[in-house]
Amino acid sequence: MYGFFPPLLLALFGAWCGTFAWGPSWQASAAGTLALLGSLLWIAPSWRDPLRLGSTGRLLPWALWIAAAASAWASPVPRAGWVALILLPAFLVLPGVVERCWRREQDRRWGLRALAVTVAGVALWALIDWLALGSPRPAMPLGHHNLLAAWLVILLPLAVLPAREPGPWRFLGLAAGGLAAGTVLASRSLAGCAALGVAALLAFGLRTGRSRRWRGWLALLAAALLLSLVQLPRVLRIVSGADTSAQARGAYLAAGVRGFQARPLLGWGPGAVPWTAAAFLAPVPRVNPWGESVGELHSLPVQLGYELGATGLLLVAGLVVLFFVRRIAEREEGRDPALLLGGLLGLGGGAVAALGSGAVAVTALPLAAAVAAGAALAGSGRGKGRSSRLPVRIYALAALAALAPLELARWHYDRGRIADGEARAREAEMELAAAARLDPRFPLYPMRLALLRARRLEERGPAAALARRAAELGGATPALWLVAGVLGYAADTPWAGAALEKACALDPLDPFPPFYAMLVGRAESDAAAAGAQGLLNEPGLAAAVFWERHPDLRTGALAAVRGWPGVDDGWKQAFFAAVPPPGVPSGPISQTVLRIDTEERESTSLTAFRRRPWPTEWGLIQVRAEVWNRLHIPPAAASKGTSPRFYAAAPCRRRSLSGQALLTH
């Protein structure tokens, strides 16, 4: 019976609780929390040395937690790391749970069979979604092709182990391995294919000298070579600089390095990347869209260094290396050497995949790694631990108590989201107010509550103050500062200009912050330059009704556009050819719309805050509809002749503080 527990956890998290899109719902989050901490209550492992690192390393997991806690304490956004801090001990102890479940041979057999079924089921799901439903790549149920590939790579070496058995179970192992490998290939994930190839090479290199299955090892070597050939065109595009995905990843990695250099010892705090990375990001024109929400740095080592500093990064590296050293030393002496090898291969493949992904918030991945580590422990086990399991159970109960109000706040948020979608605005406000009371330092709740309350004219002042508080809690989240600045302008607050300037500095390709900054400071010397930046980012704003009342400012903004450095001359010619001459235009008036959470990549709720998207369309700037429809010109950043640093001439970037100062002042 115990043998089924690890594959059941994998199925629960891999198909629902730990996925990118479905995991943030209150049902999935609560179920995942109960399953994870409930496993520690029911099958509590030893707490003294759950990873069996020996006398020299058994304190490493707890030193890592202390370093993470110190980093969170010093962070400007400590709330971002609360859940990670609470659950980190659970993931560190979970391999011990798996080891206890798979101590008996019969439990291991049935557990590995169920794991093979789980892996085959997820791979089939992804392939059917891709082939039958027309998805661009296999991605479901994890939600992204890189996440799916990493999950499959970690578990594939374990899923093929039933092939050792005679009879029909042999075919189950072969089918699970073939489906998983085929899905990774179909995903065209460079990191996933590289991880699969490295796992195959490691399997070939770590084979026992007396093994006679040389055909199988040669097949693994051939698979590694095939994977390298499949990804060769992508590698050539990356080397030539023509791969936009690689350019975006380069921008994220550079932001991570700058953030690490600004705070090298303790980092910016666990979970801080989505709330702070914009302060260090230099967006690449034609690659990074405006309004983008950066949820991870696309490299786990860089992300660990950014969030935990050199201290946390070294502790994680030491823990991983020591775990591998201990298990390799036990390779020939444990209960099941093949299981030990499968666990190590899965962890090795996962480590390679982690070089191209830092999505630890998608909990299906760390849980899969914990199961692989537990399999290695089970394969190398030498008997039962004797230490008390009471501390683990006490921790599980304390973690449940600490997470209960946060999960209840998530429940209120989801109820408010549904109520607002059904035009029950008052009920949505009540639900969000309840969520904000239960989790007062979580910035998404007051921001959403401010948007709801701002619909009433008499509430604009309090709504603006609430939005400003949300932006301060959110650190350097551009969308929060934009909402605060726009609501502050509507309420005529003295701080609206500062909020808009910060939003502009954090996302210089967004047209709304500089345009509203011009509205706030229209009498200042930089007003025309701010308006010009808005026009460069969205040429359609030349149709704004505002210009009709301020022709001098319009003339100044157009002159600033004409002389803006780094902008393609061809774009300027096309823009000025489409801009109507000065005069008194007539015709119907419409509004530009700021869309929040309408696209997954730019979803602030989902990517930055791991909450279900709340699609919102917010009408902002009045424009002449006919002129707006004629100005279908892409932004200046989309022109190939525009310099990547053209936005450095923007007033908000010239005056902006360093990334560290943006977060700490």
We report the CATH number of the domain holding residue 588 as 1.25.40
Q: CA distances (Å), 473 to each of 21, 306, 555, in order? A: 24, 19, 39
pLDDT of residue 210: 45
Q: Is residue 435 part of a domain?
A: no
Residue 644 structural domain = 443-664
Strands 616-624 and 589-596: antiparallel
Give the span between the Cα atoms of 400 and 235, in whole angstroms: 46
Domains held by the chain: number: 2
Contact 608, 621 (CB under 8 A): no
Residue 506 tokens, joined: 């954090």
Segment among 490-504, 523-537, 579-593 with least mean pLDDT = 579-593
Residues 479 and 369 in one domain: no
Cα diameter, the chain: 89
Residue scoring higher pLDDT (22 or 649): 22
Residues 122 and 249 in one domain: yes
Residue 20 tokens, joined: 């990118």
pLDDT band at 559 (very low <50, low <70, confident <90, very high): very high
Decide which of 387, 414, 433 is a domain's last residue: 387
Q: Does pLDDT of 166 surpass 80?
A: yes
Q: Does pLDDT of 394 surpass 60?
A: yes
Decide which of 364, 387, 410 is a domain's last residue: 387
pLDDT (tens digit, 9 = 90+) per residue, 103-115?
899 999 999 999 9
Q: Does pLDDT of 385 surpass 80?
A: no
pLDDT band at 211 (very low <50, low <70, confident <90, very high): very low
Residues 651 and 573 in one domain: yes
Element of type H or E holding 533: helix 527-537
Contact 259, 659 (CB under 8 A): yes
Q: Is residue 561 part of a domain?
A: yes
Q: Is residue 410 part of a domain?
A: no
Alpha helices in 242-361 (DSSP H): 244-262, 273-276, 300-329, 337-354
Helix axis angle, 527-537 to 551-562, nearest 10°: 60
pLDDT (tens digit, 9 = 90+) per residue, 263-301?
999 999 999 999 999 999 999 888 888 888 889 999 999
Residue 463 tokens, joined: 């709504």
pLDDT of residue 655: 65
Q: Is residue 405 part of a domain?
A: no
CB count within 10 Å of CB 654 equals 11
Residues 448 and 555 in one domain: yes
Q: Is residue 399 part of a domain?
A: no
Q: Does pLDDT of 611 surpass 50?
A: yes
pLDDT (tens digit, 9 = 90+) per residue, 55-97?
888 999 999 999 999 999 999 999 999 999 999 999 999 999 9
Residues 367 and 451 in one domain: no
Q: Give the N- to C-terminal CA distance of the chain in Å, as an integer.
A: 55
Q: Does pLDDT of 613 surpass 90?
A: yes
Q: Does pLDDT of 212 surpass 50?
A: no
Residues 378 and 473 in one domain: no
Give the span between the Cα atoms of 314 and 350, in whole angstroms: 18
Contact 449, 429 (CB under 8 A): yes
Give the span between the Cα atoms of 147 and 138, in whole angstroms: 10
Q: What is the pTM of this model?
A: 0.94
Q: What would the mean pLDDT of 41-62 be, rounded to a whole number?
A: 89
Give the span between the Cα atoms of 607 and 359, in whole angstroms: 10
Give the span between the Cα atoms of 628 and 579, in whole angstroms: 10
Residue 589, beta-bridge partner list: 624
- Cα–Cα nearest to 274, from 292, 262, 290: 292
Q: Is residue 223 part of a domain?
A: no
Share of the chain above pLDDT 90, in %: 68
pLDDT of residue 153: 95
Q: Is residue 17 part of a domain?
A: yes
Decide which of 353, 387, 421 is a domain's last residue: 387
Q: What would the mean pLDDT of 589-607 be, rounded to a whole number?
A: 86
* DSSP designation for 657: P
Residues 526 and 377 in one domain: no
What number of helices (H) and strands (E) belong to the chain?
Answer: 30, 2
Q: Is residue 15 part of a domain?
A: yes
